Amino acid sequence: MKRFLLPTLLSVAFFISVSAHAAPPTTEEALKDRILGDPNAPITMIEYSSLTCPHCRQFHTEILPKIKKNYIDTGKVKLIYRDFPFDQLGLLATVMARCAPLKRYFGFIDVLFQKQADWSRSQDPFGELSRIGKLGGLNPSDFDACLKNQELIDGLVEKRLEGQKKFDVNATPTFIIDGDHKIVGSQPYEEFEKVFSQKAK
């Protein structure tokens, strides 16, 4: 059995702070946009991402921390995260994250990307995801119930279709900044910085 090592101090603090299982959100709550940063930030960046996408992992582990430090944490940009799973395993991980308590969502996303190679290549991905969920305060029975929630599954698929129709999203990660600027792929930090600077003028 592989030993589960938490990859970042943020993730360590996230899991240590969990003292008991918490009830999962309702279907309506689970389908709402997840926002990182000040909801009133002047610049909005929508991210369409898949938890099994290696380029999405690269963005979250290498690029997003810089954006978060310089733009999100300073109130200049808010990130709206929208799931765009490309496969059944990506959908499985998406459901788990969406069933996590709302305040822990981005902590789950962080760990899922950091440990992507472990759970996505496991012979028992459900077991690996369930274990991550349990460490984060998600009861395995709640995870199982969410996987049987067809309304939730249909809602996640519908949101993916909305991204395709509205913004012509067909690859991950794709970023829509203030509704009129698209960045496709895990581009260098400087590419995002350039767009944010233009938008701030």
Strands 181-184 and 174-177 turn out to be antiparallel
Which of helix, strand or coil describes residue 61? Answer: helix
Determine if residue 82 is left, alpha or beta; phi over 0 gives left, psi from -120 to 50 gives alpha, anything else beta.
beta
Spatial distance between the Cα atoms of 123 and 58, rounded to a whole number of angstroms = 23
User: Is residue 170 a part of any domain in this protein?
Assistant: yes
User: Is residue 128 a part of any domain in this protein?
Assistant: yes
Q: Which domain holds residue 172?
A: 53-200
User: Is residue 194 a part of any domain in this protein?
Assistant: yes
User: Is residue 17 a part of any domain in this protein?
Assistant: no
Number of domains in the chain: 1
pLDDT tens sequence across 154-164: 999 999 999 99
User: Is residue 158 a part of any domain in this protein?
Assistant: yes
Terminus-to-terminus CA distance in the chain, angstroms?
53
Q: What percent of the chain has pLDDT over 90?
A: 70
Q: Which sign does the torsion angle of CA 89, 91, 96, 100 carry?
A: positive
pLDDT above 70: residue 17: no
pLDDT tens sequence across 46-96: 999 999 999 999 999 999 999 999 999 999 999 999 999 989 999 999 999
CB burial class (10 A; 0-12, 13-18, 19+) of residue 99? buried
pLDDT above 70: residue 7: no
**111, 136 in Cβ contact below 8 A?**
yes
User: Is residue 94 a part of any domain in this protein?
Assistant: yes
Query: CB-based contacts of 133: which residues, under 8 Å, 6+ apart?
Result: 96, 99, 100, 108, 140, 143
What CATH number should be reported for the domain holding residue 62? Answer: 3.40.30.10
User: Is residue 14 a part of any domain in this protein?
Assistant: no
